[in-house]
Amino acid sequence: MQITSKNKTIAFGSRPLVMGILNVTTDSFSDGGRFTQGEAISAQVKAMLASGADLIDVGGESTRPYAEPVSEKEELRRVIPAIACIRELHGSIPVSIDTTKAEVARQALKAGADIINDVSALRFDPAMIRIAVTHEAPVILMHMRKTPKDMQDNPLYDDVIQEIMSFLTERISWATGHGLARERIIIDPGLGFGKTVAHNLTILKNLHMFKNLGCPLLVGHSRKGFIGTVLSLETQNRELATALLSSYCATQGADIIRVHDVEKTMQAVRLHEAILQAP
């Protein structure tokens, strides 16, 4: 399986690709405020590249629970220099822009990004689909109830797996119906986005089911609150659990794993790959 952008082909092999998270925000739940200046951004990108990141995801607006939105102008001020920094350090690594705003996506793609990571699954900005189709950009379609500001207000499901599957099926159909090639669609069940701890654990237990949708599967579990609840861990102490979950996700068919700590997750997925290749 592979996905293609206008300038790149991203192939999936015997291990998941590791996507490093670069939050150039002031209020992200895990590392908000750490990478808002040029030197810090450059150092983090270098660290992710040295650890073997396969992709880098750049976000300029926090999507943590109860986060307030930022303006288009502010989001652009944050993400465009970060993308330029990545391109200066590595000309070809695939870069995704984590945004729900079409103009931010357009300018990010122009600056060197390759993929649109839209937590609204192309619902919040009607112009986003046109940007994706025009620029031949792969799109990550994620499941989320409501918006980051209110998604954790008593999320309820009759059957969380079936409802997410139905949602993603509809969004894939909608996107392809509006001109986006199916081979440019990646799906994400949206761990932590409008889900309780029990919902997140059920999604992980049944992760393999999302492979039935026929699109590459991205999982974003890194440092998330349900890990802290289950293990009574503060955010900064969740790396071991994140790496263990990364290895588990590899066994369930995840194609991309989105994490803050590239080094530890790369170790986990490479060890998983080595076991699979053993005689």
Beta strand 2-4 with 9-11: parallel, antiparallel or unpaired?
antiparallel
Question: Of these residues, 223, 224, 238, 264, which one is catalytic?
Answer: 224
Residue 230: alpha-carbon gap to chain centroid: 22
* Distance of alpha carbon 8 from alpha carbon 222, whole angstroms: 26
At residue 27, the pLDDT reads 58
Digit-coded pLDDT (tens) for 86-118 = 999 998 999 999 999 999 999 999 999 999 999
Q: Give me the mean pLDDT over the 19-31 stretch.
A: 77
Q: pTM of the prediction?
A: 0.93
* Burial class, 126, CB count within 10 angstroms (exposed 0-12 / middle 13-18 / buried 19+): exposed
Digit-coded pLDDT (tens) for 209-221 = 999 999 999 999 9
Given CA atoms 52, 56, 60, 66 in this order, what sign does their dihedral have?
A: negative
Question: Of these residues, 171, 184, 223, 258, which one is catalytic?
Answer: 258
209 residue type, one letter: M
224 is catalytic: yes
Reported as type and span, the H/E element at residue 219 is strand 218-219
At residue 233, the pLDDT reads 96
pLDDT higher than threshold 70 for residue 36: no
At residue 30, the pLDDT reads 53
Residues 6+ apart with CB under 8 A from 178: 129, 133
130 is catalytic: no
At residue 33, the pLDDT reads 57
Domains of the chain and CATH, by start: 16-272 (3.20.20.20)
* Burial class, 188, CB count within 10 angstroms (exposed 0-12 / middle 13-18 / buried 19+): buried
At residue 155, the pLDDT reads 85
